[in-house]
Structure 1
Amino acid sequence: MAVFRDAHPIVYVEDVNASLGFYRDLLGFTETYRFDDFVSLQLGTSAISVVQVTGGQDGSHGLPIRPRAGHQFELCVYTDDVDAAIDELRDRGVPVLVEPADQPWGERMAYVADPDGHPVMICR
Structure 2
Amino acid sequence: MSVFRTPQVILLSDDLPRAVDFYRRLGFTETFRVPTDGEPTHVDLVLDGYKIGIASAASTRDDHGLDPVTDGHRAAVILWTDDTAAAYEALVAGGAPARASPYAWLGRLLIAWTADPDGHPLQIVQPLTRPARAQR
The alpha-carbon deviation at position 58 of structure 1 amounts to: 4.9
The AA in structure 2 aligned to 1:77 is: L
Matched residue count: 121
Percent of aligned pairs with the same amino acid: 36
- Correspondence for 2:110: 108
- Correspondence for 1:29: 28
Residues 27-66 of structure 1 correspond to what in structure 2 (within 5 A)? Answer: 27-35=26-34, 36-54=40-58, 57-58=61-62, 60=64, 62-66=65-69
User: 5+ unaligned residues in a row in structure 1: which ranges?
Assistant: none
Supply the distance in 2 between the matched residues of 1:58 and 1:8 (Cα, whole angstroms): 22
The alpha-carbon deviation at position 118 of structure 1 amounts to: 1.1
Contact 1:40 / 1:49 at 8 angstroms: preserved in 2? yes
Cα distance, 1:23–1:85 mapped onto 2, change above 3 Å: same
Cα distance, 1:63–1:52 mapped onto 2, change above 3 Å: closer
- Correspondence for 1:12: 12
Q: TM-score, normalised by structure 2?
A: 0.81
Q: Which SS does the other structure have where 2:53 is aligned? A: strand
The AA in structure 2 aligned to 1:23 is: Y
Cα distance, 1:105–1:6 mapped onto 2, change above 3 Å: farther
Runs of 4+ residues deviating >3 angstroms = none
User: 5+ unaligned residues in a row in structure 2: which ranges?
Assistant: 35-39, 127-136
- Correspondence for 1:2: 2
Supply the distance in 2 between the matched residues of 1:87 and 1:7 (Cα, whole angstroms): 30
Supply the distance in 2 between the matched residues of 1:41 and 1:105 (Cα, whole angstroms): 32
Aligned residues: CA RMSD = 1.9
CA displacement 1:44-69 (0-9 Å, x = unmatched): 11110001224x92562x3311312x
The AA in structure 1 aligned to 2:30 is: E
